[in-house]
Amino acid sequence: MIQLHQKQRNNQPVIQGKFKDIEPTDYTKDEYANNPNNEGQFTAVRADKGLPTFLGVLKDTYGEDNVNKNFFSKTEVLGDTCDRPHSVTAIVKKGTSRKDRKGDSVVSAIGNLGTEERLIRDGKNAAAKTAYDGGHLVGYQIVRGIEANQAWNIAPQDVKNNEHSYNNTIEKMLRGAARYTEYTYSVEVKYDQWNFRVDQEQLVKLGALKQVDSTKPWEIQLPVRIPFKWDAKAEMSKKDEENWKFASPTEGESSFEQFSQTMDEGNLDFTRKSHTARFNLAFSDKDGNEELYDIDSNNFEATKVKGIRYSMHQSLPTDFLKNQKPVEWKGDEANAVAHFGEVKKGQASSTNVLEIIPAKLKRNKILIDEIEEIGDVEKPEKMRLIPEGISLLDERDEKKCLFIYQLNKNKIRNEYEILKEIEADYYPFFDVQQEEEESFEKEKEDFDTIASEFAMLVEELDNKKEDEIESAQQKMAQYNKILEAQTLTLTWIKNHRIGRDLYKDTVNELYPLYKEKIFRSLQVVHSITGYDFGMEYYHNDKKTDSKNKTNRNGKRTLEAREDKRKKRKADKEQQEEMKKMTEEARGKYLRKSVEDYLNKK
């Protein structure tokens, strides 16, 4: 059980103190492990020690019986608490060690904390291209030891950045350093907010909670796990050692696809793989002169580099799913909101609006163009995944048993699961289609207005008086807020258009096959029981002609009499087979509904 330390408000359970905006813990040397045989030795660690996981908070708040552990299957190994890193420093003396990295469940689980956070805050998002690995602050292959696989040294990191950018730039340069090269390596991560809001309805819809509980807070706060900024710095212990050298970064498109010279968060976009994270590099010489790396320059010489600085921003969740008021909650209004920690954005954001606004204008223009390119589709009729007549049958009805038996024979579950999931995830997007179309037109008009007014303000800024400059800055701050809200709206519209398009394509591909399997199953039920399944799945198949033909004089031919004899025999065999099939179907599916069968219950 999570230990509770905070002062309680409204008699609600309150999560431990680190959940709030307080200083993280500076670990003592006996709190982090070092192996003297490793190339790297940790010298300083700062983290939120024992911070509750999402699973831990929900178990403590809503009760273990109401938490769906399957939702947390990929992070359950972490338990109820997991450190949240802030900074790590190590001294590394390059040797010849070539230890292979060993897989660690904690590393992948912390990456999945990032996946859980984005899912809880944004829901299933067809437009999102973001995924997370467990990213080491100071890498395993830098210190050359499993001691790097500690929660205080791992945070959710954009998967493309982790596997390509970070790995192929600063980490590659440090891994490939010349023997005996000694350097200090410090990595710091920053969070744009400490906590985020979440309510019971979205937790139930996502499957994290089993049901709404009106005796517990409608809204709680959960600790953020995804860092916004990632800053790494390596400095040689001695700048005049000629034999000490860092390697060169790995050249190639994958290494530098996320490279950004300006490194402003305004150019982040979680709907584009190249912009889910952005990074840059700076190198310093023996005199401490620092220069940003230019990927188009031919002047880079790794032998002159004595210091490396790597800066990365990664896109954050946008809180798509946040509801405004309780929907299915009837509890005491005074206890509707828990007080587990303040929710305040902007802890790590830039403040220079003259740099932010152009980047945000560019980002929103890209979104507008992409939305127009996607287009939209008409609302289709809702699919009927289970025939209405069949769904009304009693569980013990043999027609229902035979139908399930045939569904199983026709292997229909795969199509059902895909169609059911896409129906639940994307069909509701059609309900807001008209509203979004009107909103999109308004956002385009607002964008043009802000772009024009901002350009005029910048042009006139040099000629303004001091009081006018202050007024202009206030106006720009207002533009910044409007553009941020517009980004959210445009991303919402883009996500829904992609979802509607995905729904249409998936239904067009799978629903005809699904209906065909339903039809074949109903045909068998009809042939055995005479059950009339109506026109819903009727294929207008042509009836076959009878083989009992007569000659011109109305007398049966010998061939017809032989056919009749064979038919009687075949009919008898078929009746025996159908009887056997019916008994087997009743034995397997007597007390199982069609829906339970399809959902593997």
Q: Are 320 and 197 in contact (CB under 8 A)?
A: no
Sign of CA pseudo-dihedral 569, 574, 575, 580: positive
Counting DSSP H helices and E strands in the chain, the numbers are 16, 12
Rounded CA-CA distance 311/186 in Å is 12
Rounded CA-CA distance 353/107 in Å is 37
Q: Are 308 and 247 in contact (CB under 8 A)?
A: no
Q: Are 591 and 396 in contact (CB under 8 A)?
A: yes
Q: What integer pLDDT is reported at residue 560 of this predicted model?
A: 67
Q: What integer pLDDT is reported at residue 96 of this predicted model?
A: 63
Map tokens 């620092």 to a residue.
Answer: 290
Rounded CA-CA distance 393/594 in Å is 10
**Tokens at 491, concatenated:** 């991303």
Nearest by Cα to 320 from 76, 150, 495: 495
Rounded CA-CA distance 125/255 in Å is 26
Q: What integer pLDDT is reported at residue 561 of this predicted model?
A: 64
Nearest by Cα to 191 from 52, 90, 47: 47
Rounded CA-CA distance 133/155 in Å is 8
Q: Are 286 and 176 in contact (CB under 8 A)?
A: no
Query: Half-sphere exposure of 335 toward its Cβ, with a 13 Å CA cutoff?
Result: 17
Q: What integer pLDDT is reported at residue 182 of this predicted model?
A: 94
What distance lies between CA 324 and its chain's CA centroid? Answer: 22
For residue 582, give the 3-state DSSP assignment: helix
**Domain limits of the chain?**
17-321+340-350, 388-598
Q: What integer pLDDT is reported at residue 221 of this predicted model?
A: 92
Which DSSP letter does residue 85 get? E
Q: What integer pLDDT is reported at residue 391 of this predicted model?
A: 81
For residue 278, give the 3-state DSSP assignment: strand
Q: What integer pLDDT is reported at residue 505 of this predicted model?
A: 93
Q: What integer pLDDT is reported at residue 506 of this predicted model?
A: 93
Rounded CA-CA distance 369/364 in Å is 9
pLDDT lower than 70: segments of the chain: 1-22, 96-103, 264-266, 320-327, 349-353, 466-467, 533-574
Q: What integer pLDDT is reported at residue 534 of this predicted model?
A: 61
Rounded CA-CA distance 281/249 in Å is 10
